[in-house]
Every structure is written in structure tokens, then in C-alpha cells.
Amino acid sequence: MDPAERKKRIQGLESIKKRALNLASEGLDAFQVRDFITESKKGLAYTFPEEDQYKKAKISAMEYKRRQATDPIVDQP
């Protein structure tokens, strides 16, 4: 992720934090605040995806499948 996108992502996370604190101070239930944070972070992830993290997760998943011998490509005779 380039520095400009990372900076925008950080600004997005800070705005989510600020809004969540405002919601909590307004008296919203903790579950509603948690739901807001979760949904906001999902939206931020779609807006500014971290491709490096995706690649790492994909490699880990493929390694797990290989170790479990559940990968259909590997299991073919």
C-alpha cells in the first residue's frame, strides 16, 4: 500500500474512532457502537484494500489446505 493510501486509511480509522466515541457518549448501547465500528471498518477495507495482507492470507490458506490434503488440485491422480 502506498503512503498516500495508508494515510487516507489512517484518517478513516481515526474518523471511525471519533464517531464511535460520540455515539458512546450519546448513550448508544455497546453492541450498537460495536456494530457501527465493524461495519465501518468493512467499508473502509473495500475502499482502501490492503493487497499485501490479502496475499499473505491467501498463501496461509493455501498452505493450510495443502497440509490438510483437501486441495482438489493436489488430490488429483
Supply the mean pLDDT for the chain.
87
Q: Which residues contact 71 (CB under 8 A, 6 or more apart)?
A: 62, 65
Residues in the chain with pLDDT values less than 50: none
The model scores a pTM over 0.75 = no
CB of 12 closer than 8 Å to CB of 48: yes
DSSP letter (8 states) at residue 48? S
Q: How many Cα neighbours within 13 Å face the side chain of 54?
A: 7
pLDDT at 76: 54
CB of 19 closer than 8 Å to CB of 35: no
